[in-house]
């Protein structure tokens, strides 16, 4: 049993429809979702939770390369009801590193269960990362999960702009943008791996690739909110899709 539970607004349908109506009038693109997630251990609330992976760098005769990295990031729901949802802060909830790919994949499986997989459709459904590296190892693991009837395979989705040139530069800049003094939006919690690595920003660092790609995607899409243009008109029978 994981540590994340879903909390639904007591007037979910009505409040969401009022938000959508207001967005239609004011021209806003995004609206808040009528539900959120709570960590049972810390009692902290989150609009959404996301996972990411940076695979280990290539092994050579001179170096074993940099260890791979897994991170789980929550989009913090503040206690202040007047806070701007679009400007929510990000908190690193969990991280691990390993040079061993199967160990990383096992960590992904454990962490998605711990941080909300199955609590709501789409939550921790996929990790942001390179979907083409170690594809055979991942496929073999997913075959085992299918044989064990463990529900859904482990999925990897590329972050925004993953296939563009200078992608690492994009991710470093996005990550740095949420760490600017006096307007910090990213917090490390009690985690030290990324905190240590971030001081150097070494080219190709798996930790920077993972968290940088995730943060870059969050800033680009505001994924913890609903896009109003697609869901402008909702009938009451469809509300289960949103809560």
Who's near 241: CB < 8 A, 6+ residues apart? none
Q: Taking residues 15-35, what's their average pLDDT?
A: 67
Residue of 199, 226, 219, 205 whose CA lies nearest to 71: 205
DSSP H helical ranges for the chain: 12-26, 101-114, 135-147, 167-177, 193-197, 206-221
**What percentage of the chain carries pLDDT values higher than 70?**
82
Quick check: 48 and 37 in contact, CB under 8 A? yes
Q: Taking residues 81-99, what's their average pLDDT?
A: 91
Q: Taking residues 173-189, what's their average pLDDT?
A: 93
93: enclosing H helix or E strand:
strand 90-98
Quick check: 74 and 45 in contact, CB under 8 A? no
Q: Taking residues 214-233, what's their average pLDDT?
A: 77
Confidence of residue 85 (pLDDT cuts 50, 70, 90): confident
C-alpha distances out from residue 100 to 36, 59, 61, 114, Å: 34, 11, 17, 21
220 bridge partner residues: none
- The pLDDT assigned to 23 comes to 57
- pLDDT tens for each residue of 150-170: 668 999 999 999 999 899 999
- The pLDDT assigned to 5 comes to 96
161 three-class SS: coil
> Residue 66 has what DSSP assignment?
P
Q: Taking residues 54-78, what's their average pLDDT?
A: 89
Mean pLDDT of all residues in the chain? 86
- CATH fold group of domain 4-234: Nucleotidyltransferase; domain 5 (3.30.420)
Q: Taking residues 104-111, what's their average pLDDT?
A: 95
Confidence of residue 233 (pLDDT cuts 50, 70, 90): very low
Q: What is the pTM of this model?
A: 0.88
206: phi then psi, degrees, rounded to nearest 5: -55, -35
On the 0-12 / 13-18 / 19+ scale of CB atoms within 10 A, 37 is buried
Who's near 9: CB < 8 A, 6+ residues apart? 15, 16, 34, 35, 243
Confidence of residue 95 (pLDDT cuts 50, 70, 90): very high
């Amino acid at each position: 049993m994981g540590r994340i539970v879903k909390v639904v607004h007591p007037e979910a349908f009505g409040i969401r429809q009022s938000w959508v109506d207001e967005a239609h009038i004011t021209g806003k693109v995004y609206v808040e979702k009528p539900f959120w997630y709570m960590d049972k251990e810390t009692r902290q609330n989150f609009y959404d939770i996301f996972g990411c992976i940076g695979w280990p760098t290539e092994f050579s005769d001179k170096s074993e390369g940099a260890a791979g990295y897994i991170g789980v990031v929550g989009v913090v729901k503040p206690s202040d009801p007047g806070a701007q949802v679009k400007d929510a802060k990000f908190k690193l909830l969990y991280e691990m590193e390993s040079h061993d790919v199967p160990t990383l994949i096992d960590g992904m499986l454990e962490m998605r269960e711990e941080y909300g997989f199955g609590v709501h459709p789409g939550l921790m459904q996929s990790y942001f990362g390179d979907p083409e590296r170690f594809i055979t190892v991942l496929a073999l693991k997913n075959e085992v999960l299918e044989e064990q009837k463990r529900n859904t395979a482990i999925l990897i989705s590329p972050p925004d702009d993953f296939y563009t040139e200078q992608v690492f530069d994009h991710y470093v800049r996005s990550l740095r943008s949420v760490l600017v003094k006096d307007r910090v939006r990213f917090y490390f919690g009690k985690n030290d791996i990324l905190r240590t690595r971030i001081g150097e920003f070494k080219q190709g660092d798996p930790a920077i690739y993972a968290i940088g790609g995730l943060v870059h995607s969050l800033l680009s899409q505001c994924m913890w909110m609903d896009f109003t243009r697609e869901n402008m008109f909702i009938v009451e029978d469809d509300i289960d899709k949103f809560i």
